[in-house]
Amino acid sequence: MKRLMNAILLSCRNATELVEKRRHCPLENTERVKLKMHLSMCSNCSNYSKQIAVIDRLLNKTSTTPIDTSLLEDKIITRIKKAE
């Protein structure tokens, strides 16, 4: 019975690895079932999975237009020179 449970249940480490893997490619059926079971029982991993999904959504909404940081760089250099 213990061997069966170990084959079915994931550790939190393995669950987070599958959450990350799921972001980049589809999971196999067995992986998907194991992850779903783990997330239904583990609130920490479930929260992590939700947070990653939010982060991904927010990153996808951001513009891909490069930001001009030259003014910020000038301010930083000016402050460094004043501190010397």
pLDDT-derived band at 11 (thresholds 50, 70, 90) equals very high
Q: Please, where are the H alpha helices in 1-84?
A: 2-8, 12-24, 29-41, 43-61, 70-83
Given a cut of 90, is residue 59 above it in pLDDT?
A: no
pLDDT the model gives residue 3: 65
What's the pTM value of the predicted model, to 2 decimals? 0.65
What's the pLDDT at 26?
A: 94
Is pLDDT at 30 greater than 90 in this prediction? yes
**6 touches 38 (CB < 8 A):** no
pLDDT at 77 over 90: no
pLDDT level of residue 41 (50, 70, 90 thresholds): very high
**CA angle in degrees (0–180, nearest 5) for 60-40-28:** 65
